Structure 1
Amino acid sequence: MIKKLIIAGFTLSLLAACSTNAKNITTEVNTTNNSNESTIAQNESNITNPVVTMREAIDIFKEAYPDAKIESIDLESDFGQLYYDIDGYDSTKEYEVEIDATTKEIKVNEVESKVNRDEALDFSNIIEPNEAIEKAATNDEVKDLSPIGWSLEVERGKPIYTIEYKNQTQDIDIKIDGTTGEMIQMKMDD
């Protein structure tokens, strides 16, 4: 009889301990998921309104390379960090600079001998990135999506923004004229 009571007591204690751990595990998983969702949402909003503006990133590049012309600028997220990737050149060298979009810190600074010459961007007439993103967001295919990045470069003599989106099955790129804000093209890749 005592043996049965001891076994029953032990079993109840074991069940109680297991159910407490299950609640803790569930709480940990929910907290982790909420934290990840918060980070993703924060990065998505930073694409449209980063701490460091495109103009500030350009100034940082120009401070390092005053004679260089800029051929492209991208704002991307990598491992939860936003950064600008700026490519430029002068008469003898090509430059690739990555600038942290929250701290202004130069993360990567590569210099190579000049191989080819691309067209330089003229920033005097270019619309701001958030304007291009707003224009792209009016497209029905991306209505409920947030941009994951953008780039600006010269294509066929014109400055063109490419606003990047991703849904569960496709990558969607929308090209916006960098001076007029008109949508030029939408491309969907599987």
Structure 2
Amino acid sequence: MKMKKISILGIVGLSLFLGACTQAKKDEAKQNNQLTSLTSIQQSEGGTSATKETNSISQETTRLTLAHAVQIYESNYPNTSVTSIELDSSFGIYYYEIKGVDDQKEYELKIHAKTGDIKKKRVENLENDEKNGVERKEKGMVTTNLLSLEEITSRAQEAAGDGTAVEWNLEKELDTVYWEVKVKSGKSETDVTLNAETGTVLEVEKED
């Protein structure tokens, strides 16, 4: 009888011990799952924040596309030819400055690159030797054949090797429409000239 009691007590004790071990393993597994879930959430939130930051940087500079900026210019100055486009920043705010001509006058429009608001309008007479279609024929360009600014920027940065594009200037010379893009990396700058219609790199000039 005494041995039976000891056996029963032993079995009960073993059961309690095994139960405690099982519960400990469950608690450990639960804790590990919680840690894994927390890590996943943090990584997910970190990735989301990085994406939002990248998008916000893009939106803070040029939400207005080049094509839209040209449309705004043409709606203000119809029946003119665009002769140059410049995109750069003033106190951290980017603006498009678009110039154009007709047979008698020169026009300029400054547009906020994020909001599309017009900040400046200017009209003045051409010089006598530029009138009657002379300047228009020499400098006027067709903007419908231009590559997107994103494509030009990508190619300019690739040609520079390192850095970020900060200024863009579009002009026409000898029937070639080209972009000159300034790429900055630290204190060094690289000017990359590209054909605006094909994206071909025409010149790379580094400035230390």
Question: TM-score scaled to structure 2, two decimals?
Answer: 0.65
Q: Deviations over 1:158-183 (max 9, x none)?
A: 11011112234333210111111111
Q: Which residue of 1 aligns with 2:12?
A: none
Distance 2:191 2:64 in 1: 23
SS at match of 2:146: coil
- In structure 2, relative to structure 1, the CA distance for the partners of 1:108 and 1:142 (3 Å cut) is farther
Distance 2:200 2:194 in 1: 6
Answer with 1 or 2: which has the greater Rg.
Answer: 2
Q: Percent identity?
A: 27
Whether 2:95 is the aligned partner of 1:83: answer yes
Deviation at 1:137, TM superposition (A): 1.6
Whether 2:200 is the aligned partner of 1:188: answer no
Distance 2:114 2:187 in 1: 30
SS at match of 1:147: strand
Q: Which residue of 2 aligns with 1:29?
A: none
> Where does structure 1 lack aligned partners over 5 or more consecutive residues?
1-37
SS at match of 1:133: helix
| Mapping for residues 12-161 of structure 1, pairs under 5 Å | 42=57, 45=58, 50-115=62-127, 116=130, 117=135, 118-139=138-159, 141-143=160-162, 145-161=163-179
Contact 1:121 1:159 in 2 (8 A): yes
Contact 1:94 1:111 in 2 (8 A): yes
| One-letter amino acid of the structure 1 residue matched with residue 188 of structure 2 | Q
Higher relative contact order (CA 8 A, sep 6+): 1
SS at match of 2:115: coil
> Where does structure 2 lack aligned partners over 5 or more consecutive residues?
1-52
Question: TM-score scaled to structure 1, two decimals?
Answer: 0.70
SS at match of 2:145: coil
Distance 2:73 2:62 in 1: 17
Moved over 2 A (4+): 166-171
Distance 1:65 1:156 in 2: 25
Whether 2:185 is the aligned partner of 1:167: answer yes
Q: Deviations over 1:19-72 (max 9, x none)?
A: xxxxxxxxxxxxxxxxxxx8xx93xx459x721111111111111110111001
Deviation at 1:122, TM superposition (A): 0.8
SS at match of 2:180: strand
The count of aligned residue pairs is 146
